[in-house]
């Protein structure tokens, strides 16, 4: 399904949580917290980030009483594609060739097979 409006860029914290949700799929906030690996992180902080992701249209939820199970509704590839397109437009005049040229020049990429 094609998205009409562009996705809102994610903050660093939102993207970190979204990467976890993409990785594990359906989850509750506790699952995200376990993957973050920060025992001092308050549940309310992670819950707030997940709700922001829902408002931005990246995740949705199913309610089971007071428990919410979240799941991604934007594919990781879709977000990546939009990010690359934005990068190409902003920094390379809309030309993917200019991006590839930049990468080859600056990353010492050898296109020939070894």
60-73 pLDDT, tens per residue?
Answer: 999 999 999 999 99
Please state the domain extents for the chain: 12-72, 76-107
CA angle (56 as vertex; 52, 43 as ends), nearest 5: 15
Q: For a pLDDT cut of 90, what percent of the chain falls above it?
A: 63
pTM of the model: 0.81
Q: How many residues does the chain have?
A: 114
Pick the CATH number of 12-72 from 2.40.128.20, 3.40.50.300, 1.10.10.10, 3.40.50.1370: 1.10.10.10
Q: How far is CA 93 from the centre of its chain?
A: 24
90-103 pLDDT, tens per residue?
Answer: 998 998 898 888 88
Instruction: Quote the tokens at residue 60.
Output: 């949705």
Beta bridge partners of residue 72, listed in sequence order = 59
């Amino acid at each position: 399904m094609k998205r009409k409006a562009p996705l809102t860029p994610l903050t660093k914290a939102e993207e970190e949580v979204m990467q976890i949700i993409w990785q594990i799929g359906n989850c509750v906030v506790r699952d995200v917290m376990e993957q973050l690996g920060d025992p001092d992180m308050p549940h309310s902080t992670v819950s707030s980030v997940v709700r922001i992701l829902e408002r931005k249209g990246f995740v949705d939820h199913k309610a089971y009483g007071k428990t919410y199970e979240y799941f991604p509704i934007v594919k990781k590839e879709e977000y990546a594609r939009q990010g690359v397109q934005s990068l190409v437009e902003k920094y390379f005049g809309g030309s993917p060739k200019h991006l590839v040229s930049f990468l080859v020049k600056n990353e010492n990429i050898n296109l020939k097979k070894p």
